[in-house]
Structure 1
């Protein structure tokens, strides 16, 4: 019955845990997990005496448990070896510091022998008690696979076991984390990871399960590990941002896009309704004014015509009498002038087409006033081109190890960045530049969207085999320089083969919002 309750509790924890874990993150962290071997000499042949696990906190420094290397500390005929998870083999290490009180040790490999990707430490244990992974080299798996002693000295991928966090719990001497990710002898010193591949603790020991109860395991907590590292002049990469999946970010981006489109549709509908009201009012006003002006002009033309007729008749009558012949001339002149005035009034009367002209002018004025009102509302001026300052947006990002500093860039409409780096234009209209970062065993795909002023970096953390393929693909092309004819299209085609080698989803995504900045750098 007790086991049933334990199983039910674990099932509830699994269902309640956030779906943030991605196997790619655990694989990325596993690149920096190593087998730590205590090595003896048997008639000139190197033989493993015992082994555990460890993980890199810098390219050359490795954390493990104190009890893993304890025998080497007490016997100067024994040496400590480090075997990476991939590559051509291992190397020897020297002890930097040991703390038996909290079962921690720091060892260092010689520079130039290996370069390991450091793991990122989490900011602390989250409250959700979610999914965790133990990564290391359990001896029972070695035995089950029939590995020989020689096999232990060859690079092997570490074993990953999944469980759930059960909380923090101090032991008699130090703080530990309680979890259910299975570990065995050989896992000691390996990392306990959260769903984003960040270190939560150092696996150390398991609970006694002889009574048949469900098993629990203990890891040395970050409260012990961080001071230990800093006391020994190691400043590890730490990250306290929430652990969120790429799928979650993609879903939120879709919702954000849909919301923006819905808002745009509503604003367009409101604008159309407002302009419709303006149009109807302007049409009614124009009709009244134009028709009134036409009628007035026509009435005046008729009056002028009547004056012309009257003056003409008088001129004819007065011309018959020599005594009034002079008046006849004046009357005839008045009649001619009246005819001209009548003609001008008739010809210059407003046409019906003027109604539409006045409606169009009223609409243009209304649109101008609307634009001015939007600017007056305080919307920031964000230029798509020119000098930009791009600020990190943590709520739209997923970061496990990368730095999230703000980005300053000078963007040109032809895709030239900072006056020297050309971005490629894909068939889908996306501006991007792919960076192969060999020192970090990573690929960064930088993209910029001038329409939304959004700069984004997707980072892919790759193993040695995948990284070798990417490096080879990158070596097959030379990016065109800025101002070269068809540079953007050419680079877009060149990069497509490299992008095709990358996984379906990145390990990290950094999103930045860009605004125009002054020449001095201030936005």
Structure 2
């Protein structure tokens, strides 16, 4: 039904049109019928616009539809408010635990592709991996150390960390790398593909700095391309050590990682290896022994191994400690002894190192860089 104001405006316009057509009404130059019709049309249009403005004002006062059929006054409260109201608790829910400083996904600008769906976990019995005894240091690390990708929840990026094999199908990493996830994806250059790992053990409670922070994943297969590392209990002051992992800031310039981002799941980034020395071993608590060392680590290194010149695991890189105003920075690793105790508490084990490392016995002529002609790495 036409609104009364609009009908009245049209009637007024018609009367004006008739009057304008009467002889002698318009002075000066005569106005053609076309011009007069245009004037009447303009008057009617203005009246229609006035009517639309009036209707919009009425809607604004009664609640505007916002796209789902509900007016603004009918919209549900934000999610957090609904959760609090439904729980009958006026306190805000606590924020989710944040990953440790060396494990968060390495900054903005590194989007990951849609990762392959994790199929139902079915461990396969296959060829048992080599124990790596005859491999040079760098080759052994490249076959033992893996990148761990934990798929993010909706709207969040995947997180990336490091892990290493302790037997044919078990990988050790930090708990804060996997978080609450039950499964993760494993990438390694020698694999040439992504395989699935299920979390089968982790430290109790949320990960906290300076406390036990470990997790174990079981692979869905036993890849013959990979090799496990042996675990030593302790290191000594000034002992030469090597960290291995996937620091995020260097992934930005890794062509293979860029291919992985674009969806090529046969690609894997280069393993980054740094050398240093043990600054001091220490004891944080009865269950937590640690190593402070100078082998550089960064975000993405969490869960990676700290090894001696014989590729025996002395610790699990976990934290980066900084000295504030003094710009002091050191790397913090859980010891091999803490790792072995944790595994035993979960009914698991790793192959322990039988003897102290003497690189001249089995790796003569090989330095931490892996060059066969360089001077051998020596313990102090």
Unmatched runs of 5 consecutive residues or more in structure 2: 1-134, 367-371
> What is the CA–CA distance in structure 2 between the aligned matches of 1:81 and 1:67, rounded to whole Å?
15
* Partner of residue 232, structure 2: 122
> What is the CA–CA distance in structure 1 between the aligned matches of 2:341 and 2:189, rounded to whole Å?
27
> What is the CA–CA distance in structure 1 between the aligned matches of 2:145 and 2:319, rounded to whole Å?
18
* Partner of residue 96, structure 1: 200
Correspondent of 1:66 among 166, 169, 175 = 175
Write the mapping of 1:299-314 to structure 2, written as runs, cut at 5 A.
Answer: none
Correspondent of 1:107 among 202, 209, 217 = 217
Identify if the C-alpha distance between structure 1 residues 224 and 242 changes in structure 2 by more than 3 Å, giving closer, same or farther. closer
> What is the CA–CA distance in structure 2 between the aligned matches of 1:48 and 1:93, rounded to whole Å?
19
> What is the CA–CA distance in structure 1 between the aligned matches of 2:340 and 2:352, rounded to whole Å?
10
Shift of 1:95: 0.7
Write the mapping of 1:22-41 to structure 2, written as runs, cut at 5 A.
Answer: 24-40=136-152
Unmatched runs of 5 consecutive residues or more in structure 1: 1-22, 74-78, 247-396, 400-457, 461-502, 508-523
Shift of 1:34: 0.4
Superposition CA RMSD, Å: 3.1
> What is the CA–CA distance in structure 1 between the aligned matches of 2:212 and 2:154, rounded to whole Å?
33
Shift of 1:212: 4.0
Write the mapping of 1:4-23 to structure 2, written as runs, cut at 5 A.
Answer: none
Shift of 1:123: 4.1
Identify if the C-alpha distance between structure 1 residues 112 and 162 changes in structure 2 by more than 3 Å, giving closer, same or farther. closer
> What is the CA–CA distance in structure 2 between the aligned matches of 1:123 and 1:42, rounded to whole Å?
40
> What is the CA–CA distance in structure 2 between the aligned matches of 1:224 and 1:152, rounded to whole Å?
37
Aligned partner of residue 122 in structure 1, secondary structure: coil
Shift of 1:143: 1.8
Correspondent of 1:241 among 355, 361, 378 = 355
Aligned partner of residue 234 in structure 1, secondary structure: coil
Write the mapping of 1:86-485 to structure 2, written as runs, cut at 5 A.
Answer: 86-99=190-203, 100=207, 101-112=211-222, 116-126=226-236, 129-145=238-254, 147-148=257-258, 149-150=261-262, 153=265, 154-171=267-284, 174-246=288-360, 397-398=361-362
Shift of 1:210: 3.5
Aligned partner of residue 82 in structure 1, secondary structure: strand
Identify if the C-alpha distance between structure 1 residues 109 and 187 changes in structure 2 by more than 3 Å, giving closer, same or farther. same
Deviations 1:335-373 (A, max 9, x none): xxxxxxxxxxxxxxxxxxxxxxxxxxxxxxxxxxxxxxx
* Partner of residue 320, structure 1: none
Identify if the C-alpha distance between structure 1 residues 150 and 122 changes in structure 2 by more than 3 Å, giving closer, same or farther. farther
Aligned partner of residue 295 in structure 2, secondary structure: coil
Aligned partner of residue 181 in structure 2, secondary structure: helix
Aligned partner of residue 298 in structure 2, secondary structure: coil
CA contact (8 A) 1:86 1:156 kept: no
- Length, aligned pairs only: 224
Structure 1 stretches of 4+ moved >6 Å: none
Shift of 1:240: 4.2
More helix by share: 1
> What is the CA–CA distance in structure 2 between the aligned matches of 1:176 and 1:80, rounded to whole Å?
26
CA contact (8 A) 2:233 2:335 kept: no
CA contact (8 A) 1:33 1:85 kept: no
* Partner of residue 44, structure 2: none
CA contact (8 A) 2:147 2:188 kept: yes
> What is the CA–CA distance in structure 2 between the aligned matches of 1:169 and 1:151, rounded to whole Å?
43
> What is the CA–CA distance in structure 2 between the aligned matches of 1:167 and 1:151, rounded to whole Å?
43
CA contact (8 A) 2:149 2:185 kept: yes
> What is the CA–CA distance in structure 1 between the aligned matches of 2:180 and 2:347, rounded to whole Å?
25
Deviations 1:284-340 (A, max 9, x none): xxxxxxxxxxxxxxxxxxxxxxxxxxxxxxxxxxxxxxxxxxxxxxxxxxxxxxxxx
CA contact (8 A) 2:306 2:315 kept: yes
Instruction: Identify which of structures 1 and 2 has the higher relative contact order when contacts are C-alpha pairs closer than 8 Å and 6+ apart.
Output: 2
CA contact (8 A) 1:192 1:199 kept: yes
